[in-house]
Amino acid sequence: MDHNSLALPVGTTLDRFIMRKQEDFPYATGELSQLLRDIALATKIVNREINRSGLIDIAGAYGNRNVQGEDQQKLDVVANIRFIRALRNGGEVCTIVSEEDEEVIQTGNNQGKYVVAMDPLDGSSNIDVNVSIGTIFSIYRRISPTGTVGNEQDCLQRGTHQVAAGYVIYGSSTMLVYTTGNGVNGFTYEPSLGEFFLSHPNITIPASGSVYSINEGSADSFSAGLASFIAYCKQQSYSARYIGSLVADFHRNLLKGGIYIYPPTQKSPSGKLRLLYECNPLAFIVEQAGGKSSNGYTRTMEIEPTGLHDRCPLFVGSKDLVEKVEEFLAAEYSKEPVANS
Ligand SMILES: O=P(O)(O)OC[C@H]1O[C@](O)(COP(=O)(O)O)[C@@H](O)[C@@H]1O
Ligand SMILES: [Mg+2]
Ligand SMILES: [Mg+2]
């Protein structure tokens, strides 16, 4: 589809952009548009909390652990509460999956047609050192009938069923980047006006790039194919860039070209990242921007989720680079002895 035919000028407010896009679909009821506005409202509130965090010591460890067994910091809790509240008050969402909650969260909006999976604060280990952090979200249409309580099956849908996905980066400026399946658009927040403005229309990721982003501290447990790909990157004199905040690493590569990899490691045999609220939303965005995402073998969005907090390896970014690493992995696979032969 020609995304440019839907183009709106730089400087359009997010509200207006959402409204105008809805007008392109005369039979749309406006519920998804309202849901996107609810998310934007929550991001403004979370942005305010993050900006104040150094001042009021809100970022210190909270003395709690999340369902992944990781130290939960106070801003994770704050962001989780703010997003849940906005989605509950907005009324469009029946059920939420959050990184911070083991079970699904029922909003009480049984008429709500949507479910949301979210990582309310990504890169939380970076909060207290003032490095960019983010929020990631994914939106699905519920499967269960409206009027009933949403359930886990509503949330365990393949990424191909996403109707929208996005992320917020709280960086040197705050940006909201999202897709509803018609290309990717980025909005920059102007805090003094309390508005997001279209700043990056119709984002496309360069087909190739010279940046690779991976935590090489785990190199001893990389597979032979992955080790060969990293050696290839070095032979090509590619730049290694790794912030340790998925949203920030992904955002840079989306705009400049590159590949982000979180592979299986000894510590995390299925990778560290979560399929529903980290991998799938970024996969949807990157594909809409012309890039690729896989677990090394299978397209991310075609992986069947089995649990709310499933993890999966992530190879995401410029098309040529993702295809290249898949070639290295396939070569390794084809060298493995076939069972019973
Ligand atoms: O330190 P590692 O193992 O490289 O992990 C870094 C990754 O972990 C994450 O922080 C996980 O996200 P959370 O902060 O939401 O748990 C990613 O943002 C990041 O890319
Ligand atoms: Mg995360
Ligand atoms: Mg998180």
> What is the CATH number for 74?
3.30.540.10
Q: Which pLDDT belongs to residue 25?
A: 66
Distance (angstroms) between ligand 3 centre and the Cα of 50 equals 14
Question: Residue 60 above 60 pLDDT?
Answer: no
Q: Are residues 179 and 220 in the same domain?
A: no
Of the candidates 170, 200, 230, which is a domain's last residue?
Answer: 200
CB-based contact 38:86 (threshold 8 Å): yes
Q: Which pLDDT belongs to residue 127?
A: 84
Q: What is the CA radius of gyration of the chain?
A: 20
Query: Is the CB of 123 within 6 Å of ligand 1?
Result: yes
Q: Are residues 25 and 105 in the same domain?
A: yes
Distance (angstroms) between ligand 2 centre and the Cα of 186 equals 20
Distance (angstroms) between ligand 3 centre and the Cα of 94 equals 21
Give a yes or no: residue 115 inside a domain: yes
Give a yes or no: residue 337 inside a domain: no
Q: Are residues 139 and 27 in the same domain?
A: yes
Q: Which pLDDT belongs to residue 198?
A: 97
Q: Which atom of ligand 1 is nearest to the CA of 243?
A: 20
Q: How many domains does the chain have?
A: 2
Q: Using the 8-state DSSP alphabet, how is residue 336 labeled?
A: S
249 annotated to bind ligand: no
Distance (angstroms) between ligand 2 centre and the Cα of 231 equals 27
Q: Using the 8-state DSSP alphabet, how is residue 103 labeled?
A: S
Distance (angstroms) between ligand 1 centre and the Cα of 122 equals 7
Task: Dump strand ranges (E) for 248-321.
Answer: 259-262, 292-294, 314-317
Question: Residue 76 above 80 pLDDT?
Answer: yes
Q: Work out the average pLDDT over 80-91.
A: 96
Q: Considering only CA atoms, which residue is closest to atom 15 of ligand 1?
A: 122
Going by C-alpha positions, the residue among 22, 333, 41 that lies closest to residue 176 is 41
Distance (angstroms) between ligand 3 centre and the Cα of 119 equals 5
Q: Which pLDDT belongs to residue 66?
A: 61
Pair of tokens at residue 193: 């006006």
Within 8 A by CB and 6+ apart from 214, the residues are 230, 240, 242, 260, 261, 262, 263
Query: Is the CB of 124 within 6 Å of ligand 1?
Result: yes
Q: Are residues 157 and 241 in the same domain?
A: no
CB-based contact 59:121 (threshold 8 Å): no
Q: Which pLDDT belongs to residue 341?
A: 32
Q: Which atom of ligand 1 is nearest to the CA of 249?
A: 20
What is the pLDDT confidence band of residue 55, given thresholds at 50, 70 and 90? Answer: low
Q: Work out the average pLDDT over 87-99.
A: 97
Of the candidates 200, 235, 253, which is a domain's last residue?
Answer: 200
Instruction: State the chain's mean pLDDT as an integer.
Output: 91
Least confidently predicted of 42-46, 59-63, 328-332? 59-63
Q: Are residues 67 and 180 in the same domain?
A: yes
What digits encode the pLDDT tens for the residues 12-24? 999 999 988 877 6
Q: What is the pTM of this model?
A: 0.92
HSE of 104 in the Cβ direction (CA atoms, 13 Å)? 21
Q: Are residues 219 and 142 in the same domain?
A: no
Q: Which pLDDT belongs to residue 339?
A: 43
Q: Work out the average pLDDT over 97-113.
A: 97
278 annotated to bind ligand: yes
- Cα 146 from Cα 148, distance rounded (Å): 5
Q: DSSP characters for 1-45?
A: --GGGG---TT-BHHHHHHHHHHTSTT--SHHHHHHHHHHHHHHH
> What is the CATH number for 263?
3.40.190.80
Q: Are residues 46 and 193 in the same domain?
A: yes
Q: Which pLDDT belongs to residue 61?
A: 52
Written in H, E and C, the secondary structure of 172-226 is CCEEEEEECCCCEEEEEEECCCCEEEEEECCCCCCCCCCEEECCHHHHHHCCHHH
Q: Using the 8-state DSSP alphabet, how is residue 161 labeled?
A: G
Task: State the amino acid at position 5 in one-letter form.
Answer: S
Q: Work out the average pLDDT over 66-71.
A: 63
CB-based contact 58:51 (threshold 8 Å): no
What is the pLDDT confidence band of residue 53, given thresholds at 50, 70 and 90? Answer: confident
Q: Which domain holds residue 45?
A: 3-200
272 annotated to bind ligand: yes
Q: Considering only CA atoms, which residue is closest to atom 6 of ligand 1?
A: 244
Distance of CA 89 to the CA centre of its chain: 23
Tell which wins on pLDDT, 333 or 305: 305
Of the candidates 172, 200, 228, which is a domain's last residue?
Answer: 200
Q: Which atom of ligand 1 is nearest to the CA of 70?
A: 16
Question: Residue 130 above 60 pLDDT?
Answer: yes
Q: Which pLDDT belongs to residue 340?
A: 38
Q: Work out the average pLDDT over 102-107.
A: 97
Distance set, CA 311 to CA 155, 278, 305, 314 (Å): 15, 9, 9, 9
Give a yes or no: residue 206 inside a domain: no
Q: Work out the average pLDDT over 262-269.
A: 94
Question: Residue 257 above 80 pLDDT?
Answer: yes
Pocket test for ligand 1, best of 67, 73, 273 (most atoms within 8 A of CB): 273
Pairing of strands 292-294, 174-179: unpaired
Q: Which pLDDT belongs to residue 63?
A: 52
Query: Is the CB of 122 within 6 Å of ligand 1?
Result: yes
- Cα 228 from Cα 234, distance rounded (Å): 10
Q: Which atom of ligand 1 is nearest to the CA of 133?
A: 18
Q: Are residues 167 and 143 in the same domain?
A: yes
What digits encode the pLDDT tens for the residues 167-223? 999 999 999 999 999 999 999 999 999 999 999 999 999 999 999 999 999 999 999
Give a yes or no: residue 340 inside a domain: no
